[in-house]
Amino acid sequence: MYSHPHTPDLRHHGDAEVRDEKLVDLAVNVRADTPPDWLRERVAASLTGLAAYPDGRAARAAVAERHGLPAARVLLTAGAAEAFVLLARALPVRRPVVVHPQFTEPEAALRDAGHEVHRVLLRAEDGFRLDPAAVPEDADLVVVGNPTNPTSVLHPAAVLAELARPWRTLVVDEAFLDAVPGEREALAGRTDVPGLVVLRSLTKTWGLAGLRIGYVLADPGTVAALERAQPLWPVSTPALAAAEACMSREALAEAAEAARQVALDREHLLAGLAEFDEVTTVPGAEGPFVLIRIEGADAVRERLRTLGFAARRGDTFPGLGHQWLRLAVRDRVTTNRFLLALDQALVMAGGR
């Protein structure tokens, strides 16, 4: 479906749901109990070098090696959010298209840069699955998430590759792909897809949202254009140390194990949600979060807050409405407590 409707609050993010309150956080998609001790120690050790300007060469080389790419195809950024701003400002974009519902920052960055953004809205009736034919042929920039936040849908790599055109920049936000076992359907590391730009974040799996570190994988020309738009020394020394550490063989093995655990914990959450007649879940969730539909979700969310749980409202995502909530996957004990609270919240909100 192709449309250009009213703009919701694109600047609302999950951290606003938990700020200044002591709530169990199901609103932010950062893995709980992170960063691990070994990563904290690596970051802390980097503080002795703060007198020198940041040198990103080692971290850039580590990211390149991890994906089997030359360093000229890698750009380190202050989180994936900076990458969206760079793409919006540095590329000669005429007709940008954002596939929704998804993370709202790409559209916000494009609008801030003066672009008129066109939307392709995926439908709940289709399971929020992407039909490449829905993307206008004249779009010269297309942005899509995989797995998509907030739907948790993992689009096949082959379907995404169908969006590629010689004249088009295809931006695939893979911020959550390292939470998918085996990183199935990843495009990171691919050099055979024309115009492909892949964004990765280290903030989700490793709990580094406060450090701001991510990276772009693209052809050398695009990387150079984005780099020219960056300020000098855009990534701090501690963030560079974290990036290099997270590319090690041991770190990748730990991330793979975390992804397997997330999949098990997600199935436990989905099984519990299936017990509620009032709750509909988006099928085929593959990310570290699930999207659910409840009539009267606003009231349920407020009741959950009184019971100590924060859920992410869905109405700020284009293509969703007030009946949607996004829930981060947590460990089984936390999930069991949440399911009890949800049962109470549904009663309090008049849902049962």
Q: Give the whole-angstrom CA distance, residue 96 versus residue 111.
A: 10
- In this structure, the number of other CB atoms found within 10 A of the CB of residue 157 comes to 16
Buried b / exposed e over 74-102, threshold 16 CB at 10 Å, is bbbbbbbbbbbbbbbbbbebebbbbbbbb
| Per-residue tokens: 48 | 């002795």
pTM: predicted TM-score of the whole model, two decimal places:
0.92
CA distance 233 to 177: 27
Q: Which stretches does DSSP call E strand in the chain?
A: 2-3, 24-26, 74-77, 96-100, 118-121, 141-145, 169-173, 196-201, 214-217, 280-281, 289-293, 309-313, 324-328
Distance CA 149, CA 268 (A): 20
Hey, is 120 helix, strand or coil? strand
Mean pLDDT of 27-44: 89
Is residue 44 pLDDT above 70, yes or no?
Answer: yes
What is the distance, to the nearest Å, from the Cα of residue 269 to the centroid of all Cα atoms in its chain? Answer: 20
Mean pLDDT of 225-237: 96
**Is there a contact between 85 and 77 (Cβ–Cβ < 8 Å)?**
no
Q: Model confidence at 32, in pLDDT bands (50, 70, 90)?
A: confident
Instruction: Count the Cβ atoms, other than its own, within 10 Å of residue 22.
Output: 8
CA distance 199 to 176: 10
> Residues 312, 26: contact at Cβ < 8 Å?
yes
Q: Given this model, what pLDDT does residue 28 score?
A: 84
Closest CA to 202 of 81, 326, 38, 71: 81
Q: Which structure tokens are listed for 26? A: 């199901």
Amino acid at position 286, single letter:
E
SS3 330: coil
Check pLDDT > 60 for residue 17: no
Tell me how far apart the alpha carbons of residues 131 and 118 are, in angstroms, rounded to a whole number: 16
Provide DSSP, 261-322: HHHHHHHHHHHHHTT-TT-EEPTT--SSEEEEE-TTHHHHHHHHHHTTEEEEESTTSTT--T
Question: Could you report the per-residue pLDDT of 153-202, keeping only the tens digit for each?
Answer: 999 999 999 999 999 999 999 999 999 999 999 999 999 999 999 999 99
Stronger pLDDT, 120 or 10, i.e. the higher one: 120
Instruction: Say if residue 340's pLDDT is above 50.
Output: yes
* Strand bridging mode 118-121 / 74-77: unpaired
Task: Convert the pLDDT of each residue in 135-149 to its tens digit.
Answer: 999 999 999 999 999
Which position has the higher pLDDT, 20 or 312?
A: 312
> Interior CA angle at 334 toward 332 and 335, to 5°?
60
Q: 11 burial class (0-12, 13-18, 19+ CB within 10 angstroms)?
A: exposed
Lowest mean pLDDT of 31-35, 51-55, 257-261, 268-272, name the range.
31-35
